[in-house]
Structures are given as structure tokens and as C-alpha cells.
Chain A
Amino acid sequence: MYDKLIFERSKEGRVGITLPKTEVKDYPLPKEHLTKRDLLLPEVSEVDVIRHYTNLSLKNYGVDRGIYPLGSCTMKYNPKINEELSKNPKFNNLHPLQPDVTSQGALELEYNLEKLLNEILGLKAFSFAPCAGAHGELTGLMMIKAYHEKNKDYKRKKILIPDSAHGTNPASVAIAGFEVVNLRSTEEGTVDVEHLKEVLDDEVAGMMLTNPNTAGLYEKDICIITKLVHDAGGLMYYDGANFNALLGLAKPSAMGFDVIHLNLHKTFSTPHGGGGPGVGAVGAGEKLKTFLPNKHVRLENGLYVRRKEKDSIGNVSYFQGNYNVILKAYAYILSMGKENIRNVGEFAVLNANYVKAALEEYYEVPVKGAIMHEVVFNGLKSKKASTLDVAKRLLDYGFHPSTIYFPLLFSQSMMVEPVETESKETIDEFIDALIKIAHEAEKTPELLHDAPHTTPVRRLDEVLAARELKVKYRDLL
């Protein structure tokens, strides 16, 4: 198996590029500013580079290869036409500071996408400046803070977060300069409304909620929750990480949310790219629409223009954020159209309930009742192997495992999200593998403990990595 670093392919004198001739003469360089370092950069040919990265790619798993059922990640198919459309030089070569009159197409597209999302979510305005979900959370929280400050309501420093929330939520709250107040869940796994009533006071700035929540449950008391928070003077933040469950079926605005972030790289099919670029689009209702960050596209006298909103929190990213990504989300919505978009939520939820029904004989389902787009199991019913072992064994069957050990509500969490683009046959194969593994756990548990056996590397020593930190090529020399 190929295991070289690009630096280890280097041979003095090799080149990877041919540069055009230049007719401009050399100007003297300022001596006092020149570096004294001898850079250790590889010298390789174009073929070396192609071979190197192609070999690396072969050690990765991607959506095009098979089901990628990571809960809370919405790993749906990333359409190829979207990639093609995003590579148009007339978009790629735009400088962000070129005047609006010369970028009308780009601005019109952004404007159109905003209008589509306004309709889908029931909101008034969107910003595409945040580059990821966490970035969107931070932006939305800053907007909540700015809103209260504008109303001279300076004592509101607390943000309520259910204990089922993803860790990013409390981290974003802290970075935005708020304090976290944790809310208990009920035994069913949804927000404990009684506890909410206890903690609500005039210091609460708002509440962050994911719906469906991280246990895959729809917050049945959502309208009661939002009313309680609003009555106490707080605002409601919708973490759109799980919006795929409701796409085309419900609007967060109707539930009472004031601000929301959507992960375009989840619900709207743009590729995850191994961890970015994403877009954490932030949408706002009436109360917060004037607080959006960066410049916002408007249509004025037939011209698309970029303007700062009057209460803008300021910029959260360079220029227009990850602009190129929004082309893909726009193409996705247009591809689906009004005829099909509702099926996304329906099939995502159908698939998750099907997986639950097919596996509950073997894997413990810790929550009662119907679930939405993802199902959380609390490990094997037999407890003959850990969730980690099950996940690693799934790799031997050629599947990417589900999210594991999250949510933290259960000790052996396995969160499966079988998205709408997966066929029944694919899901059945995945189910069969998990059933086989459940049997193996009874008869030959060592197969699980030692898994994976067939991957490019086997279980890796994370303790060694942390104790003897090696984070760059020079550390290996």
C-alpha cells in the first residue's frame, strides 16, 4: 500500500510546471527583507503529483461509492451537474470588489437563492456570508445580541441549550460572549418544558434548538417552547443541521423561530469536501432581518446591488463568504423543483423509520415513538460488543459507519441517517450487514474487536499520536 509523503518523493531539480516566458526585467530585491531560511519544499514532476494524490484518494470513502449514513451529517448525493455549473469561468473569475454593474449575474443568482430559501423556510432574508454551520451559529447569536443591545436590554446574557445539543452550540455561545444555561431533556428525549419554565427570566437572550433534535425526535412542544421564550423576551434560534427531515413539509418560521442557520452542504446537497467548504446560511424573520452580516443583495431600480443592512452586526467573513458553493445549492433546488422537494423530507424520514423497524430486534432503541430522519441506537442489545467495534466491523463490509458516541444522552450511541437518495436495496444491504455483525458479536466477537481487517490501515494508536505529537514532515526527520 502506497504510504509516501509528497516530501518523500522529492528529487533535487525536478519540476512540476512550465511557466510562460516573461519579458519583464528583474528588479533588485530589498536585501534586509530577504529570508535566510532554506525551504524544505518538494521538487516533483507533474506525474509524481498526479500519482501521489490519486493514491491518497484511493484511501478515502466517498458518497459516490456507497451509503454514508452519518447521523446529523446528511450525506446525500452531490449532483455532478452542480459541479459542472459551478465551474463556469464567468463566475470563477469574478473579483469580489468589482462593481455591482459588472457582476449582475452573480448577484441575481444570490438574490434568487435567497428568495427560494425565504419561501422554503418562511423567513424574510438570508445571508450566505458564514462559511460553515458553526460560523452560522456564531453569526445568528451575534444578531441576537445586537438585537437586545439595540433595545438597550443589556442584562440578557444567557442562552438556553438542551443537553441533547451538539457541542458546537455551547462553544458558539461562549465565543459570542454569552453564558450557557443547559436544559434537561425528558425521559422521552425532548425538551423538558417544566425545566424551561424554571430557568426563563429577564436575563435570557434566547434559546438554541435543533428540530428534529439529535436523538431524531420532533420537538412536539415546539410551539409552547417558542411562546414561553418569546413571552420572557427571548429569541428563538433554529439550528438547521437536521432540516432535511422537514424539507418541503414544514417551515421553522411557523414554529416560532426568529433566526436560523442552514447547512447548504447538508440539506442542499453541496459536497462536504472532506470538511469544507460549506455554507452556514443564516436566515432571519422580521425582528432580525436588518441585523444580517456583510453586504446583502437587494434589487433597486432593476439593478442588483450589495448593501450593508442598517443594524448589521458587521462582517463575519471576507467579501461574500464561500460564494461558489451557493451556485450548487441553487442548482439543487431548481433540479428538485416544487414537484419533488417535499419527497426529500418524506423519504428521509421513511428510510430512518425503516432502518429502525428492521434493526430494533438486534440493536437497542432508547427512545419511544416515531422518529424523524435519523435513528439512534444505544448499541447492540446483546451488549456482546461495543458500538466502536460494530462501527469498525462495518468497514470490513464496505460501508461507512454511522455517527458513534453521539448524542451523549446514551452511552453506546449509534446515530444512523439514511438519506433520501439511498435506494431500498442499498439500505437493505446496510441493514443485512448490521444484522450479520450482531450475530458475529454472539459467535465470534473477536472479529469485531480486531476489526477492521480490510481497510488501508487498521485501528490507529490515538494515544501515541497525542503523547508524541508529530504534526509536520520535519517532525519525522
Chain B
Amino acid sequence: MHKYLPHTASDIKAMLDKIGIKTIDELFVALGDIKLTKPLDIPSQMSENELRDHFEMLASKNKNLLSFCGLGSYESYDFSIIDALTSRQEFLTSYTPYQPEVSQGTLQYIFEFQSYVCELTGMDIANASMYDGASSTAEAIFMAVAATRKNKVLLSKTINPYVLEVVETYCKYRDLDIEYVLEKDFSFDLEDLKKKLNNDVACFVAQTPNVYGILEDYSKVKETLEETGTLFIINQEPSSLALFKAPSEYNADIACGDMQSLGLKRNFGGPSVGYLATISKYQRRLPGRIVGKTVDVEGKRGYVLTLQAREQHIRREKATSNICSNQSLMALTVSIYLSLVGKQGLIELSKRAYNNAHYLEEELLKTKKFKKTTDKPFYQEFVLEYLGDPKVLETKLLALGYLSGYNIKDNLIIFYASEVRTKAEIDEFVKKVGEV
């Protein structure tokens, strides 16, 4: 007997009798000699206490570092009610909302999640979420390719390299041509975009704040793309959207990105959650689940999965994407976080991240060990040139319990100071940097 397996010998006997057979083995005759004759070579069962000890043994081999590195994995305040609510079995242990009458909880929070994404990005319609910001960018490209029937993709070189790696994989197997728009002064180069643009280009994809943390200026992009019928895709860090211009203000056709910074822990990289939103014109190109409002037979407000004819279970190989699920529990987490933080809170938190990053830059420059690289405006990450050996800096800081900035190339280091870093933490870090 095992605690997760309730059948007793008499239960098994009664069930076998009903089926009309003598042993469980008879149910597996079709397997023939594929059927294993000896037990699997895995450890013996563990009790809860043994498991706790085993996990603690493993956990103790991890080192929690004070981080000044972002690059797509960010820190945000942890509010206790988020775990309390997302641990509720009704959310945690439910399936995708296929039976809407007993899934209104899930359907409504997805509707609210879509509302948040649309509100932040200024787009008309968002889906129920994607795996992460990298795959949502790839799916945004597929949308543009389908809508324009063109096969070439222009990507800004200032997009996070971890996003680019995923986009490259997706495009390669879909036989799409990728070309990069070069960077100039740590931002995408408009002149290079103009040079590489032609009638075969389905879309131009850019990121703001970009990998260096810089707020890019897209005021000339849409008009540049107009002539070739090329769509504009913006990947934007959502915590910046309370303060700074949204994809809609740059007339983007599709907005995408990762929402891990809004209440999700870093968790060694996942689970995260991606968002994908577009303008009404392309709503049927949007992949994944979409929830819509409706009424029941008594006229009561309710929510259902809608526009399902785009999806893989109906369209099979003609579907807009193969995605079935979303990152539902993470979409719930983000929604609860945004509800709690509210309008003023979101503005205040992004200002704090902005201020902390600017304070850190100012203090690091005071150590005389760095050179400023650009005067472009930045948000919560920024890039400096280190005058010493970046590897030595990284190693020495690691020994002191710090995850230093990300050495992207040569002597360039991208630093990050989230809203949760205190002045004392920043001061102490800068002091240690100065001593290296």
C-alpha cells in the first residue's frame, strides 16, 4: 500500500471480478515481451521527512547571491497574499477551463489578465499568456509572417541575447530568413534598418528597454516600415509601461515580452510567463487561448474560451500555432500582483527601479573604475565599460556573495538595480567594487 494509491486487496479483487478476469496481468497481455519483468532501478520510497532532508541537503549546495544582474530575470517584492491565493487548490489543481460552468474562476482571471496586458501595452487584444517572453517573440514573428506572407525577419541586435537564441531556433526550423539591424550607440540603428528593409521583410522586431537597459526611440520606425508593408513588433519589459511610452504610442502592430518582473520569483529561470497582444486587425492571427465575455442562459455574465477555430485542436496543421496551454498560474500571479500594487504602486515601483539604477551608475562611476559608454536614457539596467578585467571583478564579487553585472562583451558590463535594492545594499556593493 502507498498513501497515494488507495486500492486494497479486496478492492482489486472486486474490480477484477466485475471486469471478468483473475489478475491485473491479464490487462497487459497486449504488451507481450515489452512488459518489464523486474522492478525499475530507482531508489526506495521516501517519507515526507526523508524527502525534506534530501531536499535540504540539495538546497544547502545552492548559494543565494545579492544580485546586480538582470538580463531577463528580475526581482520584485514578494507579497504574502500572492502565495496564499495561488496555492488555493481551486486554482492550483484545476485543468485548462474546458468546462466553463465550473471554471469561471480561471476564465475570469484570464479575462482580467488580458485586460491588464491590453491596458499596459495599449493594444486591442491579448491572449491568455505564453510560455515566456522569448517564445512569445517567436510567435509574434510567426503572426507577422502569416499576415504578410513574407519570409524575412529583421531583428534588432539590441534584443536580449537569450530571447534571440530562442527566436533563431524557431525561425530556423520554420525556414525563415533572419537579418540583424545593427546597433549604434547602444540602440538600434535607424539608418541600418532603412538599408536592410525591402518588400520581402515581414516584420522588424525591437526591444525596449533594450538589453543594455536603454529606452529606445521608435518615433520614426512605423513610417519607415509603412512603404514595404512590414509589421512592427515591440518586445517591452512590462514594469516600464507605467512610466514610459507603450507599443501603441509607437504604433506597433504586435507587442510581446516577459512578465516575470511582475511578482514572479527568479526560480533559476522559470516558470516565467510571456504576453502577446496585437491590434484588432490581426486578432485572428493571435495564437493560444483567448477568453471572451458572454452570458449564460439566464443572462448572467460569464466567460468562455473564444475564437477557438484558430487553434490546433480544430485547425490541426493549419493552426496559427501549436500552443495549447498557457502559463495560467503565472498569469494569475501577475494579475494578483498588479491588482495589489495598483496604478500608483506600479508607477512608484518603476520610479524606484529607475532611481536605484541611476544611483548605482552614479556611485560606480565615482569609483573611477568605469567609463560611461552612452548618454542615452535608461530604465533599470545600464551598461558601463570596466577599466580592469571583468572576469576578476566577477570572481572577487562572487566570493563576497554578489552576482555582479553581466559581462556582455569585451569590457562592457550590464548592471541592474531593482526596486527592492536598498541604498545600504547599493553602497556596500559599490564599496566592494571599489576595493577590487
Chain B residues positioned under 8 Å from A50 (CB to CB): 81, 84-85
Of residues 314 to 356 in B, which have CB atoms within 8 Å of A's CB atoms? Answer: 314-319, 321-330, 332, 335-336, 338-346, 348-349, 351-352, 354-356
With beta carbons under 8 angstroms apart, the residue of B165, B338, B349 that contacts A314 is B165
Is B411 on the interface with A (CB-CB < 8 A)? no
Docked complex Cα distance between A58 and B94 (Å): 12
B81 touches A317 (CB 8 A): no
In chain A, what residue has the closest Cβ to B420?
A20
In chain B, what residue has the closest Cβ to A455?
B101
Docked complex Cα distance between A476 and B115 (Å): 11
Binds A, one of B50-58, B183-191, B195-203, B428-436: B50-58
Chain B residues positioned under 8 Å from A108 (CB to CB): 58, 61
A471 touches B111 (CB 8 A): yes
B24 touches A424 (CB 8 A): no
Docked complex Cα distance between A94 and B98 (Å): 35
A15 touches B339 (CB 8 A): no
With beta carbons under 8 angstroms apart, the residue of B96, B105, B294, B330 that contacts A58 is B105
A174 touches B318 (CB 8 A): yes
A462 touches B215 (CB 8 A): no
In chain B, what residue has the closest Cβ to A342?
B39
Docked complex Cα distance between A76 and B93 (Å): 9
Of residues 36 to 77 in A, which have CB atoms within 8 Å of B's CB atoms? Answer: 36-37, 39-44, 46, 49-50, 52-54, 56-65, 68, 70, 73, 75-77
B134 touches A62 (CB 8 A): no
Is B386 on the interface with A (CB-CB < 8 A)? no
Is A272 on the interface with B (CB-CB < 8 A)? yes
Docked complex Cα distance between A228 and B40 (Å): 29
Is B122 on the interface with A (CB-CB < 8 A)? yes
B105 touches A94 (CB 8 A): no
Residues A132 and B131 in contact in the complex (CB < 8 Å), given A50-B81, A97-B69: yes
Is B387 on the interface with A (CB-CB < 8 A)? no
B111 touches A472 (CB 8 A): yes
Residues A43 and B344 in contact in the complex (CB < 8 Å), given A56-B105, A90-B64, A331-B55: yes
Of residues 336 to 390 in A, which have CB atoms within 8 Å of B's CB atoms? Answer: 336-344, 346-347, 349-351, 353-354, 356-358, 369-370, 372
B92 touches A273 (CB 8 A): yes
Binds B, one of A23-31, A191-199, A282-290, A433-441: A23-31
Chain B residues positioned under 8 Å from A97 (CB to CB): 69, 71, 73, 403, 406
Residues A334 and B51 in contact in the complex (CB < 8 Å), given A105-B59, A458-B296: yes
B93 touches A272 (CB 8 A): yes
| Distance between A94 CB and nearest chain B CB, rounded to angstroms | 4
Q: State which size class the interface on A falls in.
A: 35 or more
With beta carbons under 8 angstroms apart, the residue of A25, A79, A171, A456 that contacts B312 is A171
Is A251 on the interface with B (CB-CB < 8 A)? yes
Chain B residues positioned under 8 Å from A357 (CB to CB): 18-20
Docked complex Cα distance between A119 and B303 (Å): 44
Is B281 on the interface with A (CB-CB < 8 A)? no
A370 touches B30 (CB 8 A): yes
With beta carbons under 8 angstroms apart, the residue of B62, B296, B297 that contacts A94 is B62
Chain B residues positioned under 8 Å from A372 (CB to CB): 27
Docked complex Cα distance between A293 and B135 (Å): 14
Number of residue pairs across A and B with beta carbons under 8 Å? 635
With beta carbons under 8 angstroms apart, the residue of B307, B325, B349, B359 that contacts A275 is B325
Is B67 on the interface with A (CB-CB < 8 A)? yes
A78 touches B93 (CB 8 A): yes
Docked complex Cα distance between A465 and B248 (Å): 25
A17 touches B101 (CB 8 A): no
A103 touches B109 (CB 8 A): no
| Distance between B212 CB and nearest chain A CB, rounded to angstroms | 15
B294 touches A465 (CB 8 A): yes
Docked complex Cα distance between A391 and B99 (Å): 9
Docked complex Cα distance between A392 and B100 (Å): 10
Of residues 137 to 181 in B, which have CB atoms within 8 Å of A's CB atoms? Answer: 142, 162-163, 165-166, 168-170, 172-175
Chain A residues positioned under 8 Å from B52 (CB to CB): 81, 84-85
A323 touches B339 (CB 8 A): no
In chain B, what residue has the closest Cβ to A349?
B27
Chain B residues positioned under 8 Å from A98 (CB to CB): 63, 65, 67, 69, 403
B58 touches A249 (CB 8 A): no
Of residues 265 to 281 in B, which have CB atoms within 8 Å of A's CB atoms? Answer: 265-272
Residues A106 and B62 in contact in the complex (CB < 8 Å), given A40-B119, A145-B173: yes
Is B210 on the interface with A (CB-CB < 8 A)? no
Chain B residues positioned under 8 Å from A465 (CB to CB): 292-294, 304, 306
Taking A56-B104, A315-B166 as known contacts, 10 extra A-B pairs with beta carbons closer than 8 A to each other, sorted by chain A number, are A37-B249, A41-B116, A65-B89, A68-B95, A175-B142, A175-B321, A277-B270, A323-B269, A331-B51, A342-B40
